[in-house]
């Protein structure tokens, strides 16, 4: 991936003549509210990984995503063409996307709600124009709201089928009746609909009444996430370190992990916690560490480039994802960081919520803890720390399980088959 300061391949404005799907390279218009803006940017990284895996299968990708101030509106990374649409002027005041995410930004920034109508209109317009200009075969919208709404509108105007993928945050936290109506409409009118986990699929069926929801998770790159020899990695060693990677937002439940640390330290006094990521809860969580007297044991690392994460995973004795269901119903759609940790050979512990049980089979590929229960979480952490044989068995079984079910190659193959079935059905 290349960044804004790199020598970037120029955007190709030439499009192929329209032919049937069997006679030409498949071209997908990928709609997303989050996509990496530069090399190492974690924003929407899993969408980029899916695009990359598809491009290795002779698929051309046209990504349509919101612009962020200071970055190019058009560029090309290999077979991935990126179109970043501006949605507010002056552009430096665009605050709706990126960072903590659209929902959190709306609550935190007074200007963000004003930008939402412009965001929707510009997104739908760009979806239609790019799909038509590039003669896309199919639109793939990530998140039912708002991208699914844009995809349905753009697809109907251009006569192109639309596949919608629901990731969890688009259905768990949107409880207002209007959002439920819009979600149901998008899901029912999509030519195909997928969900990233069993729990998300269950919620999608409940909202829409649609039964043919295919579960296709997001994945991990086994070439990037692989075990490293922790003896050769500077910094805290495996036997002393717990690790969390993700945004610092309420439904990630990081406060439960911080509260569990003093309980773990009673038995393992030298235990340290690394928190990788950033978000609106950072100051509050730092205050909690001070209140508990453990500020010297917790290190807030901020955001770390994707290619450096394997070092941290491989240096940790256990990886913990303590997600909860918050008051708005938001929770973990899947938990891709669990896959990354497992791929690096790190034992994992997660809360029994959302899509996490699709990855952690309790006692088999990891341990599940009760959400919002620091004592139970500490107990699961100490179980892994005290039993080296168990930790090794969990890691070994987890590695086999995710390689078979969650590698990007296998995920891309499943989406490609879905695209082909959808095109065959809509062309007959």
DSSP secondary structure string, 193-241?
A: EEESSHHHHHHHHHHH-----EE----B-TTTS----GGGS-SS-GGGE
195 and 121: one domain?
yes
Judge if 264 and 383 occupy the same domain. Answer: yes
Smallest Cα–Cα separation from 116: which of 88, 141, 91, 93? 88
Does 418 fall in a domain? yes
The answer to whether 284 touches 265, Cβ cutoff 8 Å, is no
Considering the domain architecture, whether residues 341 and 385 belong to the same structural domain is answered as: yes
- Same domain, yes or no, for 159 and 74? yes
Contact residues for 220 (Cβ-Cβ < 8 A; gap 6+) = 49, 336, 339, 340, 343, 402, 406, 407, 408
243 in a structural domain: yes
Q: Is the domain of 207 the same as that of 330?
A: no
Give residue 389's pLDDT: 97
Based on the fold, state whether residues 289 and 168 are members of the same structural domain: no
Assess contact for 350 and 359: CB atoms under 8 A. Answer: yes
Q: What is the pLDDT of residue 24?
A: 67
The confidence score (pLDDT) of residue 233 equals 60
Residue 277 has pLDDT above 60, yes or no: yes
Asked if the structure places residue 184 within a domain, the reply is yes
User: Does residue 325 belong to any structural domain of this protein?
Assistant: yes
Residue 212: which domain range?
A: 26-219+407-426
335, two tokens: 């938990």
Is 10 a member of any domain? no
What is the model's pTM?
A: 0.87
3-class secondary-structure state, position 105: helix
Are the beta carbons of 128 and 158 closer than 8 angstroms?
Answer: yes
Looking at residue 340, its pLDDT comes to: 97
In a domain? residue 415: yes
Q: What stretch of H or E contains 284?
A: helix 282-292
Q: What 8-state DSSP symbol labels residue 281?
A: T
Residues 132 and 170 in one domain: yes
Same domain membership, residue 124 and residue 30: yes
Q: Say if 175 falls within a structural domain.
A: yes
Q: What's the domain count of the chain? A: 2
Domain presence at residue 14: no
> Are 178 and 318 in a shared domain?
no
Give the pLDDT band of residue 237 (cuts 50, 70, 90). low
Task: Tell me, yes or no, whether 369 and 305 share the same domain.
Answer: yes
The answer to whether the CB of 16 falls within 8 A of the CB of 135 is yes
Q: What is the mean pLDDT of residues 81-92?
A: 94
Report the C-alpha gap between 320 and 347 in whole angstroms: 9
Look up the CATH number of the domain holding residue 321.
3.40.50.2000
Please tell me the predicted confidence (pLDDT) of residue 25: 85
Residue-wise pLDDT for 138-190, tens only, equals 999 999 999 999 999 989 988 999 999 999 988 987 778 888 999 999 999 99
Tens-place pLDDT, residues 336-375? 999 999 999 999 999 999 999 999 999 999 999 999 999 9
- 17-51 pLDDT tens trace: 344 444 568 999 999 999 999 987 889 999 999 99
Q: What is the pLDDT of residues 97-144, one digit of tens each?
A: 988 778 778 877 788 889 999 999 999 999 999 999 999 999 999 999
Cβ(139)–Cβ(115) below 8 Å: no
Does 123 share its domain with 238? Answer: no
Same-domain status, 397 and 422: no
Give the position of tokens 């974690």.
Answer: 42
């Amino acid at each position: 991936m290349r960044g804004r300061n790199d020598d970037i391949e120029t955007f190709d404005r030439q499009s192929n003549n329209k032919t049937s799907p069997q006679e030409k390279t498949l071209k997908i218009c990928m709609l997303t509210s989050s996509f990496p803006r530069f090399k190492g940017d974690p924003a929407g990284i899993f969408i980029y990984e899916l695009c990359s895996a598809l491009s290795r299968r002779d698929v051309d990708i046209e990504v349509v995503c919101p612009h962020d101030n200071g970055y190019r509106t058009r560029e090309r990374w290999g077979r991935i063409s990126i179109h970043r649409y501006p949605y507010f002027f002056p552009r430096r005041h665009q605050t709706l996307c990126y960072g903590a995410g659209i929902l959190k930004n709306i609550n935190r920034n007074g200007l963000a709600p004003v930008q939402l109508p412009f965001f929707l209109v510009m997104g739908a317009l760009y979806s239609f124009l790019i799909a038509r200009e590039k003669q896309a075969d199919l639109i793939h919208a990530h998140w039912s709201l708002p991208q699914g709404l844009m995809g349905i509108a753009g697809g109907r105007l251009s006569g192109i089928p639309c596949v919608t993928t629901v990731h969890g945050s688009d259905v768990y936290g949107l409880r207002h009746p209007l959002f439920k109506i819009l979600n149901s409409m998008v899901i029912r009118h999509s030519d195909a609909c997928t969900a990233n986990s069993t729990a998300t699929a269950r919620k999608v069926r409940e909202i829409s009444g649609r039964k043919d929801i295919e579960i296709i998770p997001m994945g991990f790159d086994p070439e990037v996430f692989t075990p490293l020899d922790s003896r050769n990695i500077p910094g805290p060693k495996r036997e002393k370190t717990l690790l969390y990677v993700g945004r610092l937002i309420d439904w990630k439940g990081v406060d439960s992990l911080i509260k569990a640390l003093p309980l773990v330290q009673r038995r393992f006094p030298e235990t340290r916690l690394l928190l990788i990521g950033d978000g609106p809860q950072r100051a509050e969580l730092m205050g909690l560490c001070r209140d508990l007297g453990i500020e010297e044991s917790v290190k807030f690392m901020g955001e770390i480039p994707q290619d450096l994460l394997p070092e941290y995973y491989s240096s940790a004795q256990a990886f913990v994802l303590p997600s909860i269901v918050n008051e708005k119903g938001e929770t973990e759609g899947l938990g891709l960081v669990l896959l990354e940790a497992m791929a690096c050979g790190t034992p994992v512990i997660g809360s029994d919520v959302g899509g996490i049980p699709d990855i952690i089979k309790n006692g088999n590929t990891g341990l599940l803890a009760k959400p919002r229960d620091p004592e139970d979480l500490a107990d699961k952490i100490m179980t892994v720390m005290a039993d080296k044989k168990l930790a090794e068995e969990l890691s070994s079984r987890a590695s086999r399980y995710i390689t078979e079910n969650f590698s990007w190659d296998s995920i891309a193959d499943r989406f490609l088959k879905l695209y082909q079935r959808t095109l065959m059905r809509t062309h007959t």
